[in-house]
A and B are shown apart, each in its own frame.
Chain A
Amino acid sequence: MLILTCPNCGVSGEETEFTPGGEAHLKRFGPGSDDEAFTGYLFERKNPKGVHFERWRHAYGCGKWFHAARCTVTLEVFGTYSAQTTEPPAHIIDAIKTKRPDWEGYE
């Protein structure tokens, strides 16, 4: 079972209280971008075995979005953080590196 702590309201809840929102930190390619970039934005997603960054919404709780860094193999959650950021903050990167020294890093 996946247990997430919502950084907006402090609740630690199990996953049925939340709604997954897919891969985190996508950059939007819209009007003016070429077809390849637009296709990538629409369809191409990471599917790592290991460290992954995702968007989640506390659907049954405070209703707010946030980000989570977790391991797709063990369901270990390295940390949750604000939705209002375009990349993982330093303290999340540090937490992952402490637990997964071999991790290749973000992006």
Chain B
Amino acid sequence: MADAVSAVGGAEFRGAVTVREVGPTGMITLRGDLGSDAVAKAVKAATGLGAVPGEREIGLDGDKGAAWMSPDELLILVPYAEAEKAVTAMEKAPGKAHALVVNVSDARAHFRISGAGVREVLAKGAPVDLSPDAFGAGTIRRSRVGQVAAAFWLSDTDCFDLVCFRSVGEYMFTWLSTAGAKDSLPGYLS
């Protein structure tokens, strides 16, 4: 297999917060009846997680995870090298029940934004309440950041993971770096 090249080559920015492209990440779209055994089996097969995430939830276990994207769609996260294997396992798991499984890893970019002001950086461009009371761990939010679609969740204290389309990866990195520039945070959420 050819070496995977990520959207901005693993670039990193250090300002008021640190923005880093995580690099190739295994991402699999799973569509089906989220309440069905078939989907539960597919999630288990790919991630080992025992529960399908509920509305706007993300379940994480080490470098694997499952996120609620819409009433009939999940995003499965696995290490990049394991994505094809996970797809095969997920296709077998539901048996005859209907589900769609697609490896979208190469269509996406994955960033990690960390630092004390990280909520304020995202709040500059996402129309989302990012205060600690409103946005806690275990939540995934699909929205826009600047002018492009993105999904983000808290991966640690003061640390967000964000995924977007690869085609706008460079825009996203530039946007995050601008919004996270030194001495540019309003200090409203901290």
Interface residues of A (CB under 8 A from B): 8-11, 13-14, 16-17, 59-64
Q: How far is the CA of A10 from the CA of B69 in the complex (A)?
A: 12
Closest to A64 in B: B70
B144/A62 in contact, CB under 8 A:
no
Residues of B within 8 A of A (CB-CB), count: 13
Interface residues in B117-145 (C-beta closer than 8 Å to A)? 127-128, 141-144
Total A-B pairs, Cβ < 8 A: 36
Q: Contacts A8-B70, A10-B55 known; A62 to B142 CB distance under 8 Å?
A: yes
B144/A64 in contact, CB under 8 A:
no
Task: Name the distance in Å between B96's Cβ and chain A's nearest Cβ.
Answer: 26
Interface hub of B55, B56, B70 (most chain A Cβ within 10 A):
B70
Q: Could you say which of A9, A14, A59, A63 contacts B55, with CB atoms under 8 Å apart?
A: A9
B149/A60 in contact, CB under 8 A:
yes
Closest to B145 in A: A60
Q: Could you say which of B71, B127, B128, B149 contacts A9, with CB atoms under 8 Å apart?
A: B71
Q: Could you say which of A8, A10, A13, A64 contacts B127, with CB atoms under 8 Å apart?
A: A13
CB-CB under 8 A from B71, the residues of chain A are 8-9, 62, 64
